[in-house]
Amino acid sequence: MPDIPPLDLTGDVRALTAALVDAESVSGDETALADAVEAALKPLSHLSVVREGDAVVARTELGRAERVVIAGHIDTVPLAGNLPSRVEGDLLYGCGTSDMKSGVAVALKLAAGVPEPSRDVTYVFYDCEEVEAERNGLGRIARTRPDLMAGDFAVLMEPTGGEIEGGCQGTLRAEVVVRGRRSHSARSWHGVNAIHGAEPVLARLGAYRAREPLVDGLTYHEGLNAVGITGGVAGNVIPDECVVTVNYRFAPDRSMEQARDHVREVFEGYEVRFTDGAPGARPGLTHPVAAAFVRAIGGTPRAKLGWTDVSRFSALGVPAVNYGPGDPNLAHQQGEYVSLSMIADCERRMTAWLTASAG
């Protein structure tokens, strides 16, 4: 990987975004960019900087009554012939433009350009968000240094199209097992076909009506869907097992155990094996710090229907929202881009929030 030029945190946020995009940092290979971020932040006298693996945490220590956390991941999905970046009109194209180096650029500009915020701020720039959960840098910090994530409120700079998306839904995957009895397919009446027996499972999914609960003033939309089906032994064998894999996206008013109980209830009479999952996060928009954020940013908050790392803050008792300049629908696409004017607008709104009275 080529060397990364020093990051200029004094210039325009749009130029900084382009520089970050051109700094290749596919998940697991973020060291060079983490080095550049650390080198750019360490000279700033108003910040204390901690390196934790390939994550960088910078904090103000002004003794304010409130502390907020602003976090963003510095990694991207693998390249798809979409570097170096290029500008066409108001659009910046390149890997990670939307998800989420534009949000990281805004956070870096705030860290450098707002030395005396009205609230103490912790900035977290972390690694390995785009890969399996056990490698996630924010999760690692939550396990080893939860004090670095402490605060009254958190903003995750995930792409939201410049709108506030509160909390996130939880997710779990489960295997619904249908049992049968093997036999030779020439004498199928001696067996019980497990694949045929999966029909009632699919019927329950087809008839399922998802909840749309109101949580802290935001409407979430759940979903329970089949995402895979496996079965079969050989071309001349009646199968004795069929497995339907389901994914349940659940609103943050349900715990993980409540979500599992619900899936068990839906598939009563079948063996259900849970394979993975992550809890949701309530938006906490009734908290005074969150309410001040909404006033400063403007617009009408909406629910985050996917899962994001705000869940990690929620597990630590920190209410959190998603807010960033990228379009989430463009994330991971070869033609990914971000609006330059939206990046500048996001920086302006976040600066207004951090410099407004905390009262």
Q: How far apart are CA 44 and CA 104, in angstroms?
A: 17
Among this protein's residues, is 75 annotated catalytic? yes
Token readout for 55 is 């994550």
Picking from 123, 299, 142, the residue whose alpha carbon sits closest to that of residue 218 is 299
Q: Which residues pair with 311 in a beta bridge?
A: none
218 contacts 164 by C-beta, under 8 angstroms: no
How deeply is 131 buried, as exposed, middle or buried, from its count of CB atoms within 10 A (0-12, 13-18, 19+)? middle
335 contacts 327 by C-beta, under 8 angstroms: no
Length of the chain: 359
The active-site residue out of 120, 129, 130, 222 is 129
CA angle, 168 then 174 then 180, to 5° = 160
Q: How far apart are CA 130 and CA 100, in angstroms?
A: 11
310 contacts 321 by C-beta, under 8 angstroms: yes
Q: How far apart are CA 349 and CA 50, in angstroms?
A: 27
Among this protein's residues, is 130 annotated catalytic? no
Task: Tell me the three state secondary structure of residue 209.
Answer: coil
Q: How far apart are CA 67 and CA 313, in angstroms?
A: 13
Reduced to 3 DSSP states, what percent helix, strand and coil does the chain have, rounded to the nearest 5? Answer: 35, 25, 40
Locus of tokens 């699919």? 202
The active-site residue out of 24, 75, 99, 130 is 75
Locus of tokens 């968000």? 129
Q: Which backbone phi and psi does 120 adopt, to 5 degrees? A: -65, 145
Other CB atoms within a 10 A radius of the CB of residue 116 amount to 10
Which residues are known to be catalytic? 75, 129
